[in-house]
Structure 1
Amino acid sequence: MEQIGDLSYMFVPVNPDGVTHWSLTAICMPNEENEQDCRSRNATILHLDSYVGPHDSKEVFMATENFMKRVLRINGDNS
């Protein structure tokens, strides 16, 4: 079974209001094979949201980053 740190991409559904509105975060995690294309091992988080009104992705980015840190810590990968 692959570890989270071995994946190149991960998609995480987000339900910020807990009721009806859904969006998606796409996490790009460059590995050794494609590191030269990405120039670093840092992950990139994209927030995909169809909501037309004003909204701030900052909270989604912070929550996704905290989630990934917890998952990597649980899996023993401190990347």
Structure 2
Amino acid sequence: MISIVELSRIMASGFDPLSCECSVSSDGSLTIRVFEPESGRVELLLNGVAPQGLDSIRAIANLIGELRTEIKAGRRGFAAFG
């Protein structure tokens, strides 16, 4: 598995200009938080991510792509109600 420091660095680069923090929970799962750095507004908070599948740059890039899609879908959903 890639270290949490390296994973955090890769994840952060994939969400620019947003910020991303990754942390390890007591059960070994990951918590991923993507947020707007100036306001601190959370765009995505994901708990319980299994780190076992994140053993390559490709796997991490695929996760980043999926999460970016989720963030965009959420923004469109909120825009429809505004």
Q: TM-score, normalised by structure 1?
A: 0.38
Q: TM-score, normalised by structure 2?
A: 0.37
Q: Based on CA coordinates, which of the two structures has the bigger radius of gyration?
A: 1
Comparing both chains, which one has the higher relative contact order based on Cα–Cα distances under 8 Å and sequence gaps of 6 or more?
Answer: 1
Higher helix proportion (structure 1 or 2): 2
